[in-house]
């Protein structure tokens, strides 16, 4: 069951400049940074609010670290902007199976590593009215590394 907007993923050309925009313009703060080699990005998570399911909602700013990453290809085609949206769930495996049964293409056979030790999968945007959609289960609080 999807219980929150976990984050909005925003693709950018220059992570430092984009972080500077969001922190200086709105007063948001960087909660976490990491490099995700598998996804081919480095990223900054800005926590915006906490949510009624015990989680939180973030902006996830993404800069590609190699030209063959999906975010690099997306940026080359679209320019900077909203790359994907992510819904939080306590059980990404169950929700991925549920949406797959309904005919939505799930891009990974098994969830992969996301931000802050989370487990994530993506749904095909053509099956989601044009929206690249991520499902995410956060790491247990004690194991979150930020």
Active site includes 84? yes
Contact with its own copies (CB under 8 A) among 30, 90, 104, 139: 104
Q: Is 102 in the site for its own copies (CB under 8 A)?
A: yes
Measured distance CA(46)–CA(15) in Å, rounded: 12
Active site includes 7? yes
Measured distance CA(33)–CA(15) in Å, rounded: 10
* Binding residues among 54-93 for its own copies as defined by CB under 8 A: 57, 59, 79-82, 85, 87
Active site includes 134? yes
Q: Is 49 in the site for its own copies (CB under 8 A)?
A: yes
Q: Closest distance between its own copies and the C-beta of residue 85, in Å?
A: 6
Q: Closest distance between its own copies and the C-beta of residue 95, in Å?
A: 8
Check: CB of residue 121 under 8 Å from CB of residue 111: yes
Sequence-ordered list of residues with C-beta below 8 angstroms from that of 79, at least 6 positions apart, any chain: none
Distance of CA 135 to the CA centre of its chain: 8
Sequence-ordered list of residues with C-beta below 8 angstroms from that of 100, at least 6 positions apart, any chain: 106
- Give the binding site for its own copies (CB under 8 A): 1-5, 8, 10, 12, 17-18, 21, 24-28, 48-53, 57, 59, 79-82, 85, 87, 99, 102, 104, 125, 128-131
């Amino acid at each position: 069951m999807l219980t929150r907007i976990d984050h909005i993923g925003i693709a950018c050309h220059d992570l430092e400049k984009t972080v500077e925009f969001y922190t200086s313009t709105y007063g948001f703060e960087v909660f976490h940074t990491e490099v995700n080699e598998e996804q081919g990005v480095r990223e900054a998570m800005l926590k915006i609010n906490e949510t009624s399911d015990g989680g939180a909602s973030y902006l996830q700013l993404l800069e590609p670290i190699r030209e063959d990453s999906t975010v690099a290809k997306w940026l080359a085609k679209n320019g900077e902007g909203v790359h994907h949206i992510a819904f939080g769930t306590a059980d990404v495996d169950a929700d991925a199976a549920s949406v797959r049964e309904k005919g939505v293409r799930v891009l990974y056979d098994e969830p992969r590593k996301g931000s802050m030790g989370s487990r994530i999968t993506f749904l095909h945007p053509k099956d989601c009215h044009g929206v690249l959609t991520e499902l995410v289960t956060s790491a247990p609080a004690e194991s979150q590394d930020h």
